[in-house]
Structure 1
Amino acid sequence: MTHIVNKTLLLFLLSFYSVFSQIETKNYTKISGTKCSILAPNGFIVSSNFNGLQNVEKGASIMITELPGSYFMMHENFNAENLKSRGMILISKETVDYNNSQATYIKVRQEANGIQYLKQIVMFGNQDYTVLANGIYPEKYKQIEKEIKTALFSIKYNKNEDISTIENVDFDIDLSTTNFIFTKQMSNTIIYTIDGKFPTEHPFFMAGKSISKINAKNKKEYSVERLKNLPNGKSITIESITSINIDGLDGYEIIGYGKNSKEEDEQIYQIMLYTESSDYYIMIGITSLENKDYLKTFKEIAQSFRIKK
């Protein structure tokens, strides 16, 4: 299950970011919720919507995400074919010297809402973790490209920093009656496992909130689309889709079956709840069929969801 855990988390994190308090130390800005600090480019301030920096005037941002798992595997996965499947066109990819080690430097182009964006991605790590720093800006502001590149390569990683508490998410879920425990938080994605390890070979549960507004006229179809965007999601067989209301938010509960990268059967549980302000919350539970009794537990956790007052 480990490989699908890593890919699922990557897609999850590319969609959701949390409200964090960044701490400015001298010229460096500490990105809370990560072990990273960065030199902010001119015009960039700490974001109130994701863990990173933003330039509101130019619609540009620098997002930093930490992922468990091999940097070397992630390097291989960031290829033209995989990027194209996510709507991104690979411009260039190279391995560069970085902080007495190596990093991957990638440039891509992507269209979103009729706007052409350019992205610079710096990725580094080792066999156990990967740091993904993503600089995004509209192509019409290409003149800030050099500043963003300089900022990305200024990132410092403090491997000894402890990040062991849940920070600044605007919702709660109750796991006190289950054997799940808090394991990690990456951006505003909270991860729970039963063995306290991640990646894990055992059932796991994740919850997060959208970073941007959506214009989903048919929320049922959008919920199915999000499910199908999971790794191997196109092959997921949907058993049921049920309208649901939790803490005053309407949404959809989906139960499905699929296979992981090892072709092992798995059960997938997804809840999406939609707000009146065009945000959404998503919860995902994945377990092997040998542990399919965890479906009941996934439902209990989802029903405990509450927005913080």
Structure 2
Amino acid sequence: MRVAGLCFIYVVMFFVAGCSDRKEQREYISIPGTLIKIIPPEEFTLAPDIGGFKHNRLTASIMVQESPKDFKTVSDSYTDSTLIRQGGELLTSFPIAVDSTEAMMYKTFRVSQGLNFVQWSLVMQMEDHVVTVISSYLKQNDRELSGRVKEALMTTRIDRNADHKKSLLSFIIEGEPLKQAKLLQGPSIMFTGNGEWNDQSIFQLSFFAGPSLENAMVERSPDFVMGQLRNICADCKVEKGGLKEISIDSLDGYEIVSYRIDSATHTQRLKYQVVLFEDTRYYLLAGTASEHHEENLSAFRTIAHTFRRKRSV
């Protein structure tokens, strides 16, 4: 399971130029669940549910993503050859330092859901992981938006005093017998069998829980849920009876039990997913296990049913 891809998923940002956007007239804002703070463009307000900012008028956002992969692996996903295979294009790239931290800035063209987007991505090397700040907008708006989006990303700073407490979550979930490994953007949370956050631990045994961004195009249908599974695991096979309706915390949704064959080890891996719908967004609960499938499937179902949204007092 590509965790960076969970998240729910690919977040899109648009930006309309304002009358005046001088950095010295605006303040840094920290993004909950991350170490990142930036000076957002005008008309963008904090949106903790997506780990970033949303535009006040437009369907637009800025989002932070974290990955346990190394800097070179993440950077390689922005090469010409990789992007061409994905139907995209590298437009420009250059190195940059963020608080004396090694980083790269990329401008790329990508196609998503039949629409043409230009993206600015700031990829930063942290001590044990990589952080990417991503902005995206329709290609037709590139002349208007590119400079301001690029400028906003270049204000990025690392807030090492940021709050990474579980209390930031908009929901409660008990991960036992797994251990909390990482609080991610959203804010969302990752549990692993040993409490470590790396590819090996995630693929061996892990459970993720977090919200999607609000989107009027969310469909409460089996086809939509299957599409979300394909975003995470394109070659997962759902066996007969592996898709069923489910209700947790008064939210209706679907549970999917699927499997895939690992290309490296040729072993079967369990992929468990629950999508719970709430208004114009959904919560994603996703587990993966490389062995003891029946035992871990039972554990995943128990964890999923502990999910509860926090109610405002």
Give the TM-score band, short-chain normalised: 0.7 to 0.9
**Alignment partners' CA distance in 2, 1:236 and 1:114:** 23
- Name the amino acid aligned to 1:147: R
Alignment root-mean-square deviation, CA: 2.8
The 5 Å alignment of 1:1-309 reads 4=1, 8-13=2-7, 15=9, 27-80=27-80, 82-83=82-83, 89-99=88-98, 100=100, 102-110=102-110, 116-126=116-126, 128-138=128-138, 139-140=140-141, 142-158=143-159, 160-161=160-161, 163-175=163-175, 178-188=176-186, 189-199=188-198, 200-201=200-201, 202-215=204-217, 217=219, 219-230=221-232, 233-239=233-239, 240-260=242-262, 262-263=264-265, 264-275=267-278, 277-290=279-292, 292-309=294-311
| 2:8–2:212 CA contact under 8 A, matched in 1 | no
TM-score with structure 1 length normalisation?
0.81
| 1:267–1:292 CA contact under 8 A, matched in 2 | no
- Name the amino acid aligned to 1:254: I
| 1:90–1:109 CA contact under 8 A, matched in 2 | yes
> Could you list the runs of 4 or more consecutive aligned residues of structure 1 that deviate by over 4 angstroms after TM superposition?
80-86, 110-116
Aligned-residue offset at 1:136? 2.2
| 1:46–1:54 CA contact under 8 A, matched in 2 | yes
Aligned-residue offset at 1:120? 0.7
Aligned-residue offset at 1:261? 5.2
Give the SS at the match of 2:246.
strand
Give the SS at the match of 2:108.
strand
Give the SS at the match of 1:224.
helix
Aligned-residue offset at 1:133? 0.8
Aligned-residue offset at 1:101? 5.2
User: Using a 3 Å threshold, how does the CA distance of structure 1 residues 53 and 69 change in structure 2: closer, same or farther?
Assistant: same
Aligned-residue offset at 1:45? 2.8
The superposition leaves residues 245-296 of structure 1 with CA deviations (integer Å, 9 ceiling, x where unpaired) of: 2222222211111133523321111111223x23211111101124641111
| 2:208–2:285 CA contact under 8 A, matched in 1 | yes
- Name the amino acid aligned to 1:39: I
- Any stretches of 5+ residues in structure 2 without a counterpart? 12-25
Give the SS at the match of 1:235.
coil
- Any stretches of 5+ residues in structure 1 without a counterpart? 18-25
**Alignment partners' CA distance in 1, 2:281 and 2:290:** 30
| 2:166–2:183 CA contact under 8 A, matched in 1 | yes
**Alignment partners' CA distance in 2, 1:295 and 1:163:** 32
The superposition leaves residues 45-98 of structure 1 with CA deviations (integer Å, 9 ceiling, x where unpaired) of: 323542223332354432222322211111112345654676x62242424132
The corresponding residue for 1:23 is: none
Give the SS at the match of 2:168.
coil
TM-score with structure 2 length normalisation?
0.80
**Alignment partners' CA distance in 1, 2:50 and 2:281:** 14
User: Using a 3 Å threshold, how does the CA distance of structure 1 residues 245 and 44 change in structure 2: closer, same or farther?
Assistant: closer
Aligned-residue offset at 1:42? 3.3
**Alignment partners' CA distance in 1, 2:288 and 2:114:** 35
Give the SS at the match of 1:32.
coil
